[in-house]
Every structure is written in C-alpha cells, then in structure tokens.
A and B are shown apart, each in its own frame.
Chain A
Amino acid sequence: MTLARKYLNAILRSRKLLIQTLLLCFALMIFTPFLMIVLRSVGRGWFGRLWLPPELTLDWYRWAVEVTNIVEITKNTLVIALLAVLMSTVIAIPTGWALGRRNIPGRELLMSILLLPRMIPPIAFALGVAQIFYRTDLINTHIGVALAHVSICAPFAILILSATFEALDERLLEASGVCGANPIRTFIHVVFPLILPGVLASMIFTFTTSYNEFTLTLMTYGKDTVTLPVRTYLAIGEGYWEVTSAMSILLIIPSIIVLFMIQRQVAPEKLVGGFKGV
C-alpha cells in the first residue's frame, strides 16, 4: 500500500517536474532573444560559431550614446506617449461613460465602429494620416505624432473604460445619494476610487501602445520627433548591430518598468482588449 502511494507520489512529482521544465523552456524562448541582444552589446570579436563573446567591452554603449541622442529620443518618445495617454483618456472617459452606463440603441454596433481602427491594418490609414499632416503642418510635431497614436489608443481606452464603468454598481451610487452626499461628493468619494484601477489600466495600456507604436510614427515623424522604435529601425538598417544592440538595451528600460507596473497593478488579461461581439 505504502509502496503504491510512493509510486503515485513520484509520478505526481515528476509530472510537476515535466511541467516546470516545459515552462522553463517557454521562458527561455521568450527571454533568450533579449539575452542575445545583451551579449551582442557587450561582446567584441565575436566571430564564427562561438557560444559566448571572447572579449567583453562597454565600447558599444559609449558609441551608442555618442551617436544617438539617447536623451532626446527618450524625451520625444515619453512626451509623445504622455500626450497620447492624456488625449486618449480625456476622450475615453465621457465616451466610455456613455457607452457603459447609458442605454444607447445599437450600442454593440457603435462599439464595433469605434473599434474599427484596431481592426484595419494601421498602415492603411497611416497613409491618409501622413497626407493630411503634410498639408496641415502637423508633421514633425510632438502633438501631431501623438494625435496619430490617439487614433489607435483611444479605441482601446474606450473599450477598457466602458467595461469599467459598466461594472459600477448602481446601488452604491444610490446609497451614497440616500446618505445625503451631493453628486460631486459621490463622485469623489465613491465613484472615483471605484473607477481608479480601470482608468489606471487604460492609461498604462495606451502608454504601452504609444511607446511601441512604429507604423504611424514612421509615417508622421520628422527630424525633431524621432522616437525609439524609429531610431531602432534606422539603426538596424545601418549595420553595426553591436551598436544597435546597445542602443536597444538603453531604450528598452522604460518598457521594462511599465511591464512591472502592469504586473503589479492590473490583470494582464486586459491587455488583449477583446471584442465583446465575438
């Protein structure tokens, strides 16, 4: 009896081990590309088929900092992302409220229309955006690039916020009214804390979207609004992938910070921005 149990336990444990190994392989698949970039950025004389660089150096980092205006590019990227977050949130709060809390006829249809920019490949309307921007002098301005980003960030924010507002419990608001709070007090003390996580989630996700946006930026950037993805693209085309790697590592740091915030703050499931109609 005890022997059978021992076997059973062993099998159970080994199954766990198997799963752990699988997961480890999966993590390797995701992280080794970054490890390769790190190794490439600190290695020198890494030719032929060697597993590791024979010589370590920080020269490529020095070079990356000297060649690319890292500070300027980071500033551009952050300013554009913040502007896009701000605009998207300002747009999405009223619209999300209306969609989430009011009975609108054809609500599903309206929602899918608003989500259309996320269904059409961005390059299709990026062409139009670029042509409009050339005409209206919005090209090569931070606000212009941010506006282009809003076209895909706002639908995302509306989606998340309308779901958040929908989940608000009507009875809580009523209770607050019954207890004698005026609408403003109700908003500050009851509604605001409740919607805070949702707003925060939408802000983080729009930030990530804008920070990583490449297609729309490539169409609308100019000499003063070079962002991180565009600079990476230019650098990959130039060769010297050691320097490109170093540059990527320097520019990826904000993304990693955001990754941590996401994990701590909100369920990553929201990142997918699903469609209710499906």
Chain B
Amino acid sequence: MKNYTRVVFSILATVVILSMLAAQCGAPATPETIVETVVVKETVEVEKEVVKEVEKIVTQEVEVEVVVTQEVEVEVEVVVTATPEPMAERPAAITIVDTNSGANFQWYWQNQVIPAIEDQLGIKVDYVVSKEAELIERMKAWEAGEGDSHLLFVKPGTIPKALGEGIELETLYPEKLDVIPNMEKNPTAYLETVLGTPIDGKGALYWRSQYALIYNSEYIKDPPTSWQEFYDRRDEWEGHIGIVRPDAKSGSSYRIPYSFLNAYVDMVDEDGNAIPLEELQQTEEWQDAWAKLQDFYTYGKQPLPAEPPNMFEDFNAGDTWISFYAMDYSLWSRHQGTMPPTIKSGFLAEGMAAGSDGYLIVPAGIPEEYKPVVYDVVNFLLSDDQQIRLITTMWQYTGTDIWDKIPGVVWDTIPAWEDMEPARLRIGNSEVKEYIKEFGPEELVP
C-alpha cells in the first residue's frame, strides 16, 4: 500500500514538474510574437500599397489600352512577379468561429471545407465552435486591431445584434466586391436585410436554410399541404404536434408561429416593408389569427419541448408525429440514421420561414494584415465549386444563385429552388418576431 502511494506520487510529481516546464516554455513565447506582429504589420502596409498601386496600373492599363493586348499581358506578368514576395508575409493561419452549424455541418466544415482551404489557398484554419452570446461578449472586449477571431460564420440574427452592440463589421457588399468577386452571385436582397433589419452588406451569404413541414409517414399518411389545412385538421394529431417553446434559444421558437400567422395575416406591405405591430394588432385578421395560434399551441405535445433536441427525442420515440423545422437537419438526420427512415418533408402553401441562413462576417477589429487573407477565404467559400459541394453533400441551398450549374440529381432529393422560392418566407417584420419571443411564453404556452 505504501509503495503504491509512492509510485503514484512520483508519477504525479513528474507530471507537475513537466507541466511547470511546459508552462515556462510557453510563457516567454508571447512577447516575442508581439514583436513579430509589429514587424509584420509594417511590411504588410508597405506591401499592400505596392499591390494596390500595381493593381491600379493594371486596371488603368486595361481600361485605356484594351486594343493593345500585348501591353496587358506584360502588365499581368508584373503583377504575378510582384505578388509572390509579399505573399510570404501574409498570415498563414486564420481562425473561423462558427456559431451557426449543428453537428452535421460541423462535420462538413472539419472534413470538407477546411482541408479544401488548406489545399487550395495554403491557409491553415483553426475552426472553433462557439455560441452567439459568448462570441459577442468576447468581441466587445477586443482592443482595436487585435481581434483573434478573423472570420465568423453566424446566424442572420447575429449581424443586427452585433451591430447593435457597437461591434464594427467590415462592409463586404458592395465595397469589397473587387476582392470578393463571387459575392456578385449572392442575391442582393439577402445582403441588404435580415429578419426585417437592414444590415447594409455587412455579411456574405454562404447558404440558405429552409424550414419545411416534417412528419413521420408511419403515423401520417396524408400530410397537410397548407397551414390552414394543418390548423383545420389539428384534431387528428392532438398531442402529437411538435412545437418548440417561444422562449427557446433556437430560431424555431419564432419561425413556427411567424409562419402560422403569415398564413392568415399580411405582416409586410406590397413593397416588403414591415407593417407596425400596433397597427397590425388593431386589425381583425390579426386578432383572429392570434387566437387561432393560441388554440394551435394547445394541440402540441405537452409539455412543449424547451429546445429542438427535445423535440427530436419525441420524434424518435414516436410521440411527436408532425412539426415544422429546418429541412436540411431532418433530411440529413434521416440519411445518417439519427431519425427514423419514415421521416418525410412537405410543403405548406402559404409560406414557410427561411431557416438560419449562413452568413460570413468579418469583424473590423482584427489585425489589418489578416483581412486580405480572410477575403480570399470568403471568396473561395462562395466559389461555384464549394457551393456545389455544399448542395450535393449536405442538401443545403447555396448562398449564390448558380442554379443552372447544379447537377440535376440534387433535385431528386430536395425540392427544386424554383419550386421552393415562391414558398420561401423571409421574415420581414422584426417587431412581430420580437413580440412572439417576448410575450409568447405567457400568451401562447398553454
């Protein structure tokens, strides 16, 4: 017994000493890197100017002397010879923080996207999963120009929240079109507003996620095709409808009631502008729709699931038969075997909310020398090749409008975009969304 004590203690002591040594090795490294970055900063600035000037010359030359093709070629060569040297000074590694992806897309990032970035751009990527609130708190604490999360992949709601917290983001559209030419293929409406709030081109659209009716065909043979039908036939599925609580963190908390209300009330006018909530609440349609919504909640599986994972547990147990959730999640889960093979998705005619569209944003507070690298990565992520991989591997609608380039077999698995787009409901009235989140727990939860 005593001997054993000694052995264990000596092991512990060695580990402690080793970790002390390791800590000491780690400590002095920090000041050195600070010195290094300072040096890098200077050279990068010089180099950027050079590059910009060269670029200017090139574009000027091109514009003026289009006829003289030889001249252009010579100038292009200059660019090529000019870039390799400063290329060496570019940061070779960036950090991508992801607050949007579930486990399925985390797998996709880790296994498909990041190796591709490393292969094709030669940039090492540190991929980190985080949460929105934590990310925003960390960013608020950054010193200007010292941010350490260079490219963020976020839910649409994060952009207005970050801006509201005074965090500055780079305006990518249209200012950075010259370095991210692929953003041209993003639909402009998505770059101007999200969830009814203007974002002024602060984010690039990586993917479009779509909500749809999901149901277990083992229990439901003829699913509803519209919200009104869904509501009228609620008796058939009493206690088996999955509705996530309105105060959940997940976006399904407001997307379900918003889409439901949308079937009965117009919440935006013809120009797409939000109708003020007070005005809406005066109308009979709204009051009627709200009463129906309250009634609809009483037909849900009780207690209402606090977050989507709980709802999916109910689905797998056979307690919940029908719900409204992100299509990619349910399709992927069925494919992977984490949801029953009898899960199917369907259309609801009046409109189905857009899901958590994936936006790439670049905080202004990161070191300047990182920005060109990050823009390259954004441009790469929006390239046709990457976007096609996204839809063929993950069945997620692409952020860029390149529908004619997508292989036709994709549409055997998911509805074609031209069918989906008319039913796609972009949330345009942020007031209604906030109202649901704030008063939903009292008014809607039975």
Contacts and interface: CB of A to CB of B under 8 A. Distances in A.
A203 B318 contact: no
Contact of A234 (B131, B336, B337, B340): B131
A48 B138 contact: no
Given A66-B111, A134-B137, A47 B318 contact: yes
Nearest to B337: A44
- A85, A240, A243, A264, most chain B CB atoms within 10 A: A240
Contacts of A86: 16, 19-20
Given A48-B318, A239-B329, A67 B138 contact: no
Interface string B177-221: 000000000000000000000000000000000000000000000
B337 A45 contact: yes
B104 interface: yes
B20 A223 contact: no
Given A44-B337, A86-B16, A223 B128 contact: yes
Contacts, number: 101
Interface in A13-72: 44-49, 55, 57, 59, 63, 66-67
B95 A82 contact: no
B12 A236 contact: no
A269 interface: no
Interface in A136-189: 139-140, 143
B60 interface: no
Interface stretch (B75-83, B231-239, B306-314, B357-365): B306-314
B103 A67 contact: yes
B435 interface: no
Interface in B72-118: 95, 97, 102-104, 106-107, 110-111
- A47, A139, A242, most chain B CB atoms within 10 A: A47
A261 to B, nearest CB: 7
B333 interface: yes
Contacts of B15: 82
A88 to B, nearest CB: 12
Interface stretch (B1-9, B261-269, B405-413): B1-9
Nearest to A82: B19
A196 B5 contact: yes
Interface in B115-167: 126, 128-131, 134, 137-138, 140-141, 148-149
Chain A interface helix/strand/loop/mixed: helix
B316 interface: yes
A117 interface: no
A240 B128 contact: no
Given A86-B20, A200-B5, A240-B333, A223 B130 contact: yes
A79 B111 CA distance: 27
A238 B309 contact: yes
B340 A47 contact: yes
Contacts of A111: none
Contacts of A236: 309
B103 A235 contact: yes
Nearest to B131: A234
A223 B16 contact: no
A15 to B, nearest CB: 33
Contact of A222 (B106, B138, B249): B138
A244 B102 CA distance: 12
A207 to B, nearest CB: 9
Interface string B232-263: 00000000000000000100000000000000
Interface range, A side: 35 or more
B5 A239 contact: no
Contacts of B19: 79, 82-83, 86
A55 B307 CA distance: 28
Contacts of B316: 46-48
Given A200-B8, A223-B128, A140 B138 contact: yes
A242 B332 CA distance: 14
Contacts of B106: 67, 238
A46 B110 CA distance: 27
A140 B8 CA distance: 32
- B103, B129, B339, most chain A CB atoms within 10 A: B103
A147 to B, nearest CB: 13
A224 B375 CA distance: 23
B141 A134 contact: yes
B307 A237 contact: yes
B23 interface: yes
Given A47-B316, A223-B97, A239 B149 contact: no
A214 interface: no
B5 A241 contact: no
Interface in B264-310: 307-309
A197 interface: yes
A45 B340 CA distance: 7
B66 interface: no
Contacts of A243: 103
A198 B322 CA distance: 58
Interface string A243-257: 110000000000000
B317 interface: yes
B111 to A, nearest CB: 6
Nearest to B313: A241
Nearest to B26: A142
Nearest to B109: A67
B318 A49 contact: yes
Nearest to B141: A134
Contacts of A82: 15-16, 19
A132 to B, nearest CB: 11
B338 interface: yes
Contact of A238 (B97, B103, B128): B103
A223 B336 CA distance: 29
18 contacts: A45-B337, A45-B341, A46-B316, A48-B340, A49-B318, A55-B337, A63-B103, A63-B107, A67-B103, A82-B16, A83-B23, A134-B141, A200-B12, A223-B149, A236-B309, A237-B307, A239-B103, A261-B8
Closest 8 CB pairs of A and B: A223-B128, A239-B309, A240-B103, A134-B141, A47-B340, A44-B337, A82-B19, A67-B106
Given A86-B20, A238-B103, 5 more contacts: A63-B103, A83-B19, A134-B140, A143-B23, A240-B333
